[in-house]
Structure 1
Amino acid sequence: MSTEIDTQDDDAGLVKTVYRTVTPGYDSHSDDGMNAIGWAMFLGLLVILFPLLPFVALVWGVTKLIEVIAGEDEAGGDE
């Protein structure tokens, strides 16, 4: 015995499956508590990682400089 009921929307012509249930439906709502936790985690990570930004920039700059130097040597050797 199936608990599914197939209904058809006249406007769109699409078939929707409806399930019989004893639980109440879910209405979407904003969850302010979880939003606050998310923002707190983001700001905490930002505070922790912001002081590391100069070191990340230094490593990035050195690797780009090495790529440029190595790229010029390789390009010069191919000609």
Structure 2
Amino acid sequence: MADDTPTDSESTGSLLPEPLRTVTPLTGNRPDQEMDIFGWGMFLTIVILLVPLLPFIVIVWLISKVTESLAPN
């Protein structure tokens, strides 16, 4: 059973696809330096905040592993 409904290009008789509907011109492929700088800034902020907390995170992890191994199943 074939679908005999015409597509948009067939119903208008045009061979070209429907135009892209946008109000801004296309910029193409280019490096996005602004977002790259923002991403690195967020990464460094997270690292600066988490590195001082790392010893506490390791201590809590070790305590949980010790209590897990001592607890009866």
Question: TM-score surpassing 0.5?
Answer: yes
- Provide runs of 4+ in structure 1 moved above 6 Å: none
Give the unaligned 5+ runs of structure 1. 7-16, 75-79
- Which shifted more, 56-65 or 40-49? 40-49
**1:19 matched to 2:30:** no
Q: Number of aligned pairs?
A: 59
What fraction of aligned residue pairs are identical, expressed as a percent?
Answer: 32
Q: What is the CA RMSD across the aligned residues, in angstroms? A: 2.3
For 2:28, what is the secondary structure of its paired residue?
coil
Question: Higher strand share goes to which structure?
Answer: 1
Give the structure-2-normalised TM-score. 0.64
Task: Tell me what 2:58 maps to.
Answer: 57
Give the structure-1-normalised TM-score. 0.60
Give the unaligned 5+ runs of structure 2. 1-7, 11-16
For 1:45, what is the secondary structure of its paired residue?
helix
Question: Higher helix share goes to which structure?
Answer: 1
